Chains A and B, each alone.
Chain A
């Protein structure tokens, strides 16, 4: 047996390598830097690593290569766009993660124990969350650029494992947080098993694990179709689980609610970009020629996802759960872009992912501001009259909700408009009708929250709004600004996406 040393193109891999390096340094910081200095050191490290990676992504924006890592990674236009989106979202989200006391003092202590009380008294909180975030981001960067099923699986686990942990780190309501982390982990492993199962079937079908090989078999139509179909179905389950599509969505509301809100923000925004990025690559290249097999099933999933997300959101009384169902509905809208399977569908989906991710981080950032003595207040009844007490929080939140609803002059409108028209172009008229109906339904509960905040009398139960610190304020302001700019003057970014977004095979 001969062993050839791999040929690696470090420039093209550098965004991911920078992040992994940064994460490792972060672990060392935990070991060697004094407790008092850790938060600021970690934040500086994380921010500089993310910025540097973003800079590298910008530098390689014109590059195309099938073999930066012996075929395991594919760098092309969509890869750059998706990695850039993930990094921008992460930068905004890390500002939120860094702010105030969201994380537990001592994760290992039992909730309510003496040990925990002592840790709280010392005023510490975990800083491991920074390296965990960086590990997750590096997994997310790898997910949409993976070139074979093994790399895809490794990336999936790399982004998931840190997220499981981070979901359990909440400072308040620790039991709920830990419960949600455990649920996320169990169900995540369950779906990973399906994913691996699917990968095995695909190997059985094509005798190959890399995308090019599978694609060749699909185009040639030589293999056993049953193997292919089961492979596609099970692989899809793994991906659909991550984006929260029905019926693989059930983890989302519980985890969104239980996890510390900054983690929810990061997870909801960045994971979606990564997972949909991988889906785009797989469906637009590997399985493009087997459209007959997956398109009807995916259409059905998109329809029930949009409908169920919007319907159940109407009944929610908790703002984080409501946003969770809203994100499920949005997963359905995004699926219409995947199903469109044309160039405008690709452009629109990438635009939508970026716009939605930014708006999501902004919306959760506002959620962190509304508090009483025992932490965040997520009960919508207690948000009544928020507009009077904090015009800043209420009006920015209203703006983000309008963006979710897809009202003109927000990025949400441009996103919905372009993604629906792409789907319409591809002939999926029925799907577009359902999507529009769900959007109308969804607008109902977004606007109900706005009415609640501005036109209901305030409740007198000590719900206060924290004056946002510089970090959170910048998260909110930057998200709102991007949401507005993408809604008012989207032409440059749309042209940028459309110029770059071409998959190489």
Chain B
């Protein structure tokens, strides 16, 4: 493994930006956004430099590390704060800084009217730095710091317009639900430390062979809880829709391209744990499968364009999580889908932002319609993202999603058939709801509110969209061609070789495309034929109502977690009040009582003070008398 001294700049540059903008205050209003963008771009440049360096080295020499400082040293427990850049983290570094920089550029225009644009950019830089720390940390503990950092940045950015109470509530909801996941991560770290005595990735990987399966399963389940929280996977998925309260560039960067994929990173990074804990691995697959269907279903009933896209994100990450649960055959494809998804989903979110920009911040798709004539560039870039997510060849999603479906079919046993079918159904539903989004927004008739005059967005906004669209076209083939990404990542995973092949790749592709075609046809049939009403119809089937309410996820959480939780806390508060507070109050009363009593000694007369000293001295003598005799 190589040693590098420049890894720290990757994180340091955006961190410096955040510090300067936050401490500099209003003085930096004029140029803060430019600085932030430049620093994010420089971090990207450092990343590219490292990529070139890595490519030029033989595979086993590619990972580099940098020790920063001795962090914690208590007895036998030593943690050095260090960074590790290997084939896996470089993928993330480039995605985070690359897409991140594009979104910085986009935000310059998108946020230009906002008084607090500087603060927004400071938070964006903070996010980039924290996310880089998450993927560059060389131990679970460093990862944890980054993990909490992105949680904080996400919270600050979702609630960026916190003058609206609903938005503030949304950020709080995201924060609280993420806490549940974070609990899982901290428990996983504690389990690692208790059973293996180390929390570094290399240490845990080494110890995993000598550790009991039970411990590894427990750790794996806790890691899964963490991943589910951050990546909005079942059963911790409910926050993502509300997170759309944040400014749209935030939704694109944090809640589509990068932060929500941290769970995929965590599981992939912990492959040595999951490969040795089949039960935990199975749970990963189940969670992924449930979420990919769940998210897709929610997507079908959303009229809010951002929430529809959020549901889609949830579902696509379900695909990735499922792939990671398949073990060594799936890791590379999970990452591949993660990267292509980063391109097309970020592109579509920016497109949604562009539409909102032109429509006076309207998010209800029922009030759009016919926008392709008014926003041609947005239409084309969004359309490319649409084709990519559907998995139409040769767009990026075709390669990455097909590989996941294929791996699911090839994972062996009866589970293979169930998983394969679920991923196919997911693809069909995805095709349905995405086509619905396209039709409602860009086709059909105008259903705008009065006074709305849609217009194309300025070049600062469409340029990043165009770049991402190019990525949505090309990234799939580039990563797939000659198994480029698979070969790149494979030194990191222990592949046990042989996999049975249930279906030929060409059959899988044909099946997938058929399913997509079915989904598209239903959507076209339903939404092109008849006029869409600008107010959602209410006389709909029970199922629609059920789906519209997000499959009752909030009601479920409320009924089964919040209410019992509230009851429990009420009980605890009562106990607290009577038992704990009671005794504390008693102590406090005693303290105040004796305090006031003792205060009497402090009467201000120097003669009393001197007497006190004398009494003290005499007591000392008395004590000595006792000691001596």
Residues of A within 8 A of B (CB): 182-183, 186-187, 190-191, 194, 225-226, 229-230, 233-234, 236-237, 241, 246-248, 250-251, 253-254, 292-293, 296-297, 300, 308, 310-315, 441, 444, 489, 491
A186 to chain B: which residues have CB within 8 Å? 606, 610
Whether A247 lies near B598 (C-beta < 8 A) is no
Contact pick for B624, options A190, A230, A246, A441, CB 8 Å: A230
Query: How many A-B residue contacts, CB cutoff 8 Å?
Result: 88
Q: How far is the CA of A226 from the CA of B627 in the complex (A)?
A: 10
Given contact pairs A225-B628, A314-B588, A444-B591, enumerate 15 new A-B contacts (beta carbons under 8 Å): A183-B609, A186-B610, A187-B613, A194-B617, A237-B616, A237-B620, A246-B616, A247-B615, A248-B616, A296-B623, A297-B620, A300-B623, A310-B591, A312-B598, A489-B69
Whether B595 lies near A233 (C-beta < 8 A) is no
Closest CB in chain B relative to A254 CB, distance in Å: 7
Interface flag for B586 (CB, 8 Å) = no
A191 to chain B: which residues have CB within 8 Å? 613
Closest CB in chain A relative to B622 CB, distance in Å: 10
11 residue pairs from A and B, CB less than 8 Å apart: A236-B620, A237-B616, A241-B613, A246-B616, A247-B615, A254-B602, A311-B594, A315-B595, A441-B591, A444-B591, A491-B73
Q: How far is the CA of A477 from the CA of B305 in the complex (A)?
A: 48
The verdict on A247 contacting B616 (CB below 8 Å), with A229-B624, A491-B73 known, is yes
Whether B596 lies near A315 (C-beta < 8 A) is yes
Considering only residues 544-588 of chain B, those with a C-beta below 8 Å from chain A are: 587-588
Q: How far is the CA of A253 from the CA of B612 in the complex (A)?
A: 14
Interface flag for B621 (CB, 8 Å) = yes
Interface size on B, residues (CB 8 A): 31
Considering only residues 331-365 of chain B, those with a C-beta below 8 Å from chain A are: none
Whether A237 lies near B591 (C-beta < 8 A) is no
A300 to chain B: which residues have CB within 8 Å? 623
Interface of B is mostly: helix
Contact pick for A315, options B592, B604, B619, B627, CB 8 Å: B592
Who on chain A is nearest to B610 by CB?
Answer: A190
Find the residue from B69, B598, B616, B621 having the highest chain A CB count within 10 A. Answer: B616
Whether B613 lies near A190 (C-beta < 8 A) is yes
Find the residue from A182, A225, A230, A312 having the highest chain B CB count within 10 A. Answer: A312
The 5 A-B residue pairs whose C-beta atoms are closest, nearest first, are A247-B616, A250-B609, A315-B595, A233-B620, A229-B624
The verdict on A226 contacting B595 (CB below 8 Å), with A182-B606, A247-B615, A250-B602 known, is no
Closest CB in chain A relative to B401 CB, distance in Å: 45
The verdict on A296 contacting B588 (CB below 8 Å), with A187-B613, A250-B612, A253-B602 known, is no
Interface flag for B601 (CB, 8 Å) = yes
Interface flag for B599 (CB, 8 Å) = yes
Closest CB in chain B relative to A51 CB, distance in Å: 27
Q: How far is the CA of A250 from the CA of B604 in the complex (A)?
A: 9
Q: How far is the CA of A297 from the CA of B70 in the complex (A)?
A: 41
Contact pick for A187, options B591, B606, B620, CB 8 Å: B606
Closest CB in chain A relative to B391 CB, distance in Å: 49
Whether A311 lies near B595 (C-beta < 8 A) is yes
Q: How far is the CA of A194 from the CA of B587 in the complex (A)?
A: 37
Whether B606 lies near A314 (C-beta < 8 A) is no
Q: How far is the CA of A101 from the CA of B426 in the complex (A)?
A: 75
Whether A312 lies near B595 (C-beta < 8 A) is yes
A229 to chain B: which residues have CB within 8 Å? 624, 627-628
A311 to chain B: which residues have CB within 8 Å? 591, 594-595, 598
Q: How far is the CA of A308 from the CA of B604 in the complex (A)?
A: 17
Contact pick for B610, options A187, A225, A296, A491, CB 8 Å: A187
Who on chain B is nearest to A191 by CB?
Answer: B613
Q: How far is the CA of A489 from the CA of B71 in the complex (A)?
A: 8
Closest CB in chain B relative to A156 CB, distance in Å: 16
Whether B591 lies near A314 (C-beta < 8 A) is yes
Q: How far is the CA of A114 from the CA of B69 in the complex (A)?
A: 64
The verdict on A183 contacting B616 (CB below 8 Å), with A229-B624, A229-B627, A312-B595 known, is no
Q: How far is the CA of A313 from the CA of B591 in the complex (A)?
A: 10
Who on chain B is nearest to A494 by CB?
Answer: B73
Who on chain A is nearest to B73 by CB?
Answer: A491
A297 to chain B: which residues have CB within 8 Å? 620, 623-624, 627
B628 to chain A: which residues have CB within 8 Å? 225-226, 229
Whether B613 lies near A248 (C-beta < 8 A) is yes
The verdict on A250 contacting B627 (CB below 8 Å), with A183-B609, A187-B609, A233-B620 known, is no
Q: How far is the CA of A314 from the CA of B604 in the complex (A)?
A: 19
B594 to chain A: which residues have CB within 8 Å? 311
Find the residue from B69, B70, B606 having the highest chain A CB count within 10 A. Answer: B606
A292 to chain B: which residues have CB within 8 Å? 627
A293 to chain B: which residues have CB within 8 Å? 624, 627
A441 to chain B: which residues have CB within 8 Å? 587, 591
Who on chain B is nearest to A251 by CB?
Answer: B609
A233 to chain B: which residues have CB within 8 Å? 617, 620-621, 624
B616 to chain A: which residues have CB within 8 Å? 237, 246-248
Whether B598 lies near A296 (C-beta < 8 A) is no
Closest CB in chain B relative to A412 CB, distance in Å: 18
A248 to chain B: which residues have CB within 8 Å? 612-613, 616
Closest CB in chain B relative to A138 CB, distance in Å: 27
A234 to chain B: which residues have CB within 8 Å? 617
Whether B588 lies near A444 (C-beta < 8 A) is yes
Who on chain B is nearest to A250 by CB?
Answer: B609
Who on chain B is nearest to A241 by CB?
Answer: B613
A250 to chain B: which residues have CB within 8 Å? 601-602, 608-609, 612-613
Q: How far is the CA of A460 from the CA of B591 in the complex (A)?
A: 31
Q: How far is the CA of A237 from the CA of B620 in the complex (A)?
A: 9
B592 to chain A: which residues have CB within 8 Å? 314-315
Who on chain A is nearest to B611 by CB?
Answer: A250
Q: How far is the CA of A247 from the CA of B602 in the complex (A)?
A: 11
Closest CB in chain B relative to A222 CB, distance in Å: 16
Q: How far is the CA of A225 from the CA of B629 in the complex (A)?
A: 11
A253 to chain B: which residues have CB within 8 Å? 602
Whether A491 lies near B613 (C-beta < 8 A) is no
A241 to chain B: which residues have CB within 8 Å? 613
Q: How far is the CA of A258 from the CA of B195 in the complex (A)?
A: 58
Q: How far is the CA of A308 from the CA of B598 in the complex (A)?
A: 8
One digit per residue, 1 when the CB lies within 8 angstroms of any chain A CB and 0 when it does not, for chain B 56-90 equals 00000000000001100100000000000000000
Closest CB in chain B relative to A500 CB, distance in Å: 19
B69 to chain A: which residues have CB within 8 Å? 489
Whether B595 lies near A247 (C-beta < 8 A) is no
Q: How far is the CA of A225 from the CA of B625 in the complex (A)?
A: 11
Closest CB in chain A relative to B521 CB, distance in Å: 60
Q: How far is the CA of A293 from the CA of B591 in the complex (A)?
A: 32
Closest CB in chain A relative to B149 CB, distance in Å: 15
Find the residue from B69, B604, B613 having the highest chain A CB count within 10 A. Answer: B613
Q: How far is the CA of A187 from the CA of B628 in the complex (A)?
A: 29
Q: How far is the CA of A191 from the CA of B610 in the complex (A)?
A: 9
Closest CB in chain B relative to A123 CB, distance in Å: 33
Q: How far is the CA of A353 from the CA of B595 in the complex (A)?
A: 26
Closest CB in chain B relative to A131 CB, distance in Å: 28
Q: How far is the CA of A358 from the CA of B602 in the complex (A)?
A: 28
A226 to chain B: which residues have CB within 8 Å? 624, 628
Who on chain B is nearest to A190 by CB?
Answer: B610
Q: How far is the CA of A297 from the CA of B616 in the complex (A)?
A: 11
